[in-house]
Amino acid sequence: MPDLIAADAVASDALHAAFTAAFADYVAGPFRLDPTQWPGFIARQCVNLALSRVALDDQGAPAAFAFVAERPAQQRWRLATMGAVPAARGRGDAAALLQDLIARATEAQQHGLELEVFAQNPRAVKLYERHGFVAVAALQGHEAAALGGAATAPPADVLSAVSRAEALAWLERAEAAQPELPLQLAAPVVARADGWTAWQRGSAQLIFGDAADGGLVIRSLVDLDATQRDAQVLAAALRQAHPERRVTLPPLLPDRLGGEALQRAGFTRQPLHQWWMHRALP
């Protein structure tokens, strides 16, 4: 059994180095963060370092880690990310971290655990399944090429542009009405991002901002109505208002909350997708 310690007892630069090494061969491509970006990444993932655990190697350096975020409304903990440096793989650290997480969450009287894992990472999927996690939804990514042509601003009666505070309050109400809302689409994560715009129409809300590649990225799309007609109108209006820009959404969106609307609005699914997995606790 490896030594496990709370992540807040480990130096930030050591955590960053372990994360960088662990995700150098990530299925979605190398995941690199500048050291100055590391605190912001941890904050955006809502990671609680006191709840997170790190497995140490024989020299006392981080060999593997399990970063944990709380979801109080659901009374669940989220395994925000887990990994091991290449030299430490095969030691059993991942299993030890998961067993420890399950035991601590049970002791803390949580109702369950959740995580996201790429479906194209079968080794990780099988690890989680062995520890009682079950896939409850596919989280899809979507993209739409630039339309071209002249921009068309949406008429005022089609949608409402709302303030940051109004958008976050809407997400909080949506999470209460729809508890199975992935954290990365919900208010705690969206609130930590800057420079976004929110549109609302009927039962739906769309939040978007600039992407690093010059396009637009959808940070959150939620439609509480099963028909998703309002989400479809919002997605189409976004493309028409910015016809010169490609629009993407990372693999975070269940079909039932807006994915179907995006496909009807001309978006295509990205090849990679994630499983949203849950584990009930006694």
- Given this model, what pLDDT does residue 245 score? 97
Give pLDDT tens digits along the chain (282 positions).
Answer: 678 999 999 999 999 999 999 998 887 777 778 899 999 999 999 999 999 999 999 888 999 999 999 999 899 999 999 999 998 888 899 999 999 999 999 999 999 999 999 999 999 999 999 999 999 999 999 999 999 999 999 988 999 999 999 999 999 999 998 878 999 999 999 999 999 999 999 999 999 999 999 999 999 999 999 999 999 999 999 999 999 999 999 999 999 999 999 999 999 999 999 999 999 998
- pTM across the whole model: 0.92
**Contacts with 48 (C-beta within 8 Å, 6 or more apart), sequence order:** 68, 69, 70
Rounded Cα distance between 196 and 218, Å, is 9
List the domains of the chain with CATH numbers.
4-110 (3.40.630.30), 140-273 (3.40.630)
Instruction: Reduce the DSSP state of residue 222 to 3 states and report it.
Output: strand
Structure confidence at residue 32 (pLDDT): 79
Residue matched to tokens 């958008």: 167
Q: Within 10 Å of residue 181's Cβ, how many Cβ atoms?
A: 22
- The whole-number pLDDT of residue 30 equals 72
Work out the burial of residue 186: count CB atoms within 10 Å of its CB; fewer than 13 is exposed, 13-18 middle, 19 or more buried.
buried
Q: How confident is the model at residue 239, as a pLDDT?
A: 97
Sheet containing 268-280: give its strands across: 4-6, 53-56, 62-71, 76-84, 112-118, 268-280, 134-144, 247-253, 216-223, 204-210, 196-201, 160-162
Residue pair 278/136 in contact (Cβ under 8 Å)? The answer is yes
